[in-house]
Structure 1
């Protein structure tokens, strides 16, 4: 299953300037998602991070992964129409910079779910090189 940006906005509430998912290229509701963020020089954060050496802030890579990770949960029958919240981040590792022109490929595998809480294994890559890994906890609210 693939989703364009309009379909993604029907699932998650994020909008500009914090919308960080451009396209979903693979989706198995309830268990897995692979999504794309095209990183351009026009991003609102690059003028200040850093002048002369634009680098995507690590916290925004994590935000992109969190938005990506909430999609398979919110696309499941159990949680349709609900909102996903980030409940925790563990074992974060940054491995290289993300810069303008990069295509950030984000994957999330939901590895555990109990009630309205899910845990996912997140990976972000650029050109098949891992740039960030983390375990993320999601809480599905009303």
Structure 2
């Protein structure tokens, strides 16, 4: 069976391609690479956490921990790449706004030296509103998870 656009799993998207797809930039760009993507369905992003992250000096100086909201934001950005890739050129660079965050759970701290595998799965899509389930996984352990919805602003 030949691969269709809807079922093809891509190898990777690098940081340059990610920046073409979503408008986030340092210090708020929280996904470094996409290692697989199934358009309209799921995707896995990578975030390499370093001591140079701008939030570590204040969170916390003696025990750096990635803030939970930043972990959720990394899930949302990974989801945004999935949406942009699914919708194509017409959507690239458009803004995506959170609408809801539900069932967020934080199970283990994430800190410098960790590599987060951000696994996102589309739950639902109606027009410009997308709902996802995300997990942040480090060394095979789920560190955080959430269900969230976002709206893509097509007139931005």
TM-score (norm 1): 0.95
Q: Contact 1:22 / 1:37 at 8 angstroms: preserved in 2? A: yes
Q: In the alignment, does 2:134 pair up with 1:132?
A: no
Distance of 1:42 and 1:32 partners within structure 2: 29
Does the 8 Å CA contact 1:74/1:83 hold for their aligned counterparts?
A: no
Q: Give the match for residue 134 of structure 2.
A: 122
Cα RMSD of the aligned pairs, angstroms, is 1.2
User: Within the alignment, does 1:73 sit opposite 2:74 as a pair?
Assistant: no
Give the secondary structure class of the aligned counterpart of 1:100.
coil
Q: What's 1:56 paired with?
A: 66
- CA–CA distance in 2 between the matches of 1:123 and 1:87? 18
Deviation of 1:124 (Å): 0.5
Considering only CA atoms, is the larger Rg found in Structure 1 or Structure 2? 2
Specify the SS of the correspondent of 2:21. coil
Are 1:110 and 2:122 matched, yes or no?
yes
SS in 2 for 1:80: coil
Equivalents in 1 of 2:85, 2:97: separation in Å? 14
Aligned residues: 142
Q: Gaps (5+ residues) in structure 1?
A: none
Name segments (4+ residues, structure 1) moved above 6 Å: none
- Decide whether the 8 Å contact of 1:120 with 1:136 is kept in 2: yes
SS in 2 for 1:101: coil
Tell me how far 1:46 sits from its aligned partner.
0.7
